[in-house]
Amino acid sequence: MKQFFKELGQHFQTGVSYMIPLVTASGLLTSIAVIFGGQAVWNETSDVWGNMRLLGQTGLNFIPVIIAAYVAYSIADRPGLAPAFIVGLVAAKMGTGFLGGMLVGILMGYLIQWLKKIPTPAKLTTVKSLLLIPFLATLIVGFVMVYVVGEPISAMTNFLSAWLKGMSGTNAVLLAGLLGAMMAVDMGGPINKIAYAFGMAAFTTGGYQASTAMLMAIAIPPAGMFLATLLGGRKLYSQQEIENGRTAIIMGLVGITEGTIPFAVADPVRVIPSIIIGTSVGCGLNAAFGTYQKTALSTFMAIPFSSNWILYTVAILVGVVVVALLANGLKIITHHQPQEDD
């Protein structure tokens, strides 16, 4: 069972990995349209901004389809793609959202994997692969979605969307802090991708508090480690780490968390807890301020488009400073010595 869930997590991560380029392109198109066309772009296609919104929104609506198809692909290889695309599209039209797409991918993948193992005469192998498996898998999982699980998942998705939209106070702070921690914990790994997918799913349904927290978290870890190298200098960091800090801030400015990875690999015990806590604090503080932004832009790029750019910036800076002070404080307390490269 433990191995099963481990493999299931890997399949899910594959699906999200294929989803990210879709979300990046669609989110950027939607963000640019809203920035220059205003909120009116959501209701019309009479100008270039409205049509750009249409392109972006269409892409974002395909999140359940892509998740379904590539989770199934990860489990069952190419035979899983076409049936999962079909049923994933049905799930999207039923309003099951991200959860529905994930369930379709899992059901389709394991069903096809089982169907492929059924013994058949050699003469029927081609017929089985090209006709029987796609037909049966699409029919069975499709009917399960339509008649059994589709409506409950749709109701759950609607409830979650309404909860995210109405979130305030302590709940908003806790969710934002949790998403920040998840984004920071493995810097682009499976937990990060789960938080990213959840945040973007919330974005497509107007849950801007969740998407704001997720997007804000992207650049806090690399910016925090850059500041840590500035404050700690050669006493705490090698010359290579200082150079890595300069690279990290550049990556952070354009929304890439992975600039933190060299620091985490070199000193995981001190760096990883620091970036988790600092990012969680920054995102939670922003939620406490009640600040949000309605674009898919990350951390620094979203500052001009936040509901209160001053408080939004303060929250980012607090998170960055907490990361830097914690990382350097842990290094000082434990008498960490930088290791210069030969």
Asked if 224 and 87 sit in the same domain, the reply is no
Residue that finishes a domain, picked among 114, 133, 165: 165
Asked if 189 and 155 sit in the same domain, the reply is no
In a domain, residue 339? The reply is no
In this prediction, residue 167 has a pLDDT band, given cuts at 50, 70 and 90, of: low
Q: How far apart are CA 313 and CA 310, in angstroms?
A: 5
Asked if 217 and 137 sit in the same domain, the reply is no
Q: What is the mean pLDDT of the chain?
A: 87
Q: How far apart are CA 224 and CA 178, in angstroms?
A: 18
Provide mean pLDDT across the span 309-338.
92
In a domain, residue 338? The reply is no
Task: State residue 165's pLDDT score.
Answer: 65
Sequence-distant contacts of 330-337: CB under 8 A, at least 24 apart:
330/269, 330/270, 330/273, 330/274, 331/232, 331/236, 331/267, 331/270, 332/236, 334/270, 336/236, 336/267, 336/270
Torsion angles phi and psi, residue 26, rounded to 5: -65, -40
Asked if 227 and 146 sit in the same domain, the reply is no
Asked if 148 and 283 sit in the same domain, the reply is no
Q: For residue 293, list its beta bridge partners.
A: 306
In a domain, residue 101? The reply is yes
Nearest to 176 by CA among 319, 9, 273, 32: 319
The residue behind tokens 């919330």 is 202
Torsion angles phi and psi, residue 293, rounded to 5: -140, 145
Percent of the chain with pLDDT over 70: 95
Provide mean pLDDT across the span 266-271.
88
Provide mean pLDDT across the span 320-342.
84
Higher pLDDT, 107 or 258: 107
Residue 273 has pLDDT above 90, yes or no: yes
Residue 341 has pLDDT above 70, yes or no: no
In this prediction, residue 342 has a pLDDT band, given cuts at 50, 70 and 90, of: very low
Residue that finishes a domain, picked among 145, 165, 185: 165
Provide mean pLDDT across the span 93-114.
89
Residue 254 has pLDDT above 90, yes or no: no
Task: State residue 115's pLDDT score.
Answer: 92
Task: State residue 114's pLDDT score.
Answer: 93
Write the DSSP string, 220-232.
HHHHHHHHHHHHH
Asked if 184 and 328 sit in the same domain, the reply is yes
Task: State residue 42's pLDDT score.
Answer: 72
* The Cα angle at residue 125 between residues 124 and 128, in degrees rounded to 5: 85
Residue 86 has pLDDT above 50, yes or no: yes
Residue 340 has pLDDT above 90, yes or no: no
Residue that finishes a domain, picked among 165, 187, 203: 165
Q: Write out the residue range of the structural domain in which residue 215 sits.
A: 169-333
In a domain, residue 10? The reply is yes
Residue 314 has pLDDT above 80, yes or no: yes
Residue 27 has pLDDT above 90, yes or no: no
| N-to-C CA span, the chain | 46
Task: State residue 240's pLDDT score.
Answer: 87
In a domain, residue 341? The reply is no
User: Out of 36-45, 238-247, 256-265, which region has the weakest mean confidence (pLDDT)?
Assistant: 36-45
Task: State residue 162's pLDDT score.
Answer: 73
Domain tally for the chain?
2
